[in-house]
């Protein structure tokens, strides 16, 4: 399988049971608390496609994989 390009990744942080994104890739809002639950994060880590809707602007990212630091998505999120 071809590796996912880094421009299709976005960092996240997990604090307790909360999953934060430092800066929204769509609108630029900072310290965004997502609605993602632990079970959805685990699905993403298991390479199950998981949709994340950003609460700040309703932008959507389709996560195809996750590790302990990054979401790897189907679309280019970085310039």
Query: 22-32: per-residue pLDDT in tens?
Result: 999 999 999 99
Q: Is the pLDDT of residue 2 over 90?
A: no
Predicted pLDDT at 41 = 97
Q: Which parts of 1-79 are beta strand (E)?
A: 9-11, 13-15, 18-23, 30-33, 50-53, 60-66, 70-73
* Longest pairwise C-alpha distance within the chain: 34
Q: Is the pLDDT of residue 1 over 70?
A: no
Predicted pLDDT at 78 = 86
């Amino acid at each position: 399988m071809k590796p996912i390009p880094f421009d299709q990744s976005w960092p996240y942080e997990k604090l307790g049971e909360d999953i934060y994104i430092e800066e929204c890739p769509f609108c630029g809002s900072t310290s965004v608390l997502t609605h993602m639950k632990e079970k959805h994060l685990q699905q993403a880590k298991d390479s199950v496609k998981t949709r994340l809707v950003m609460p700040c602007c309703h932008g959507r990212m389709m996560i195809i994989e996750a590790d302990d630091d990054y979401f790897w998505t189907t679309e280019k999120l970085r310039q």
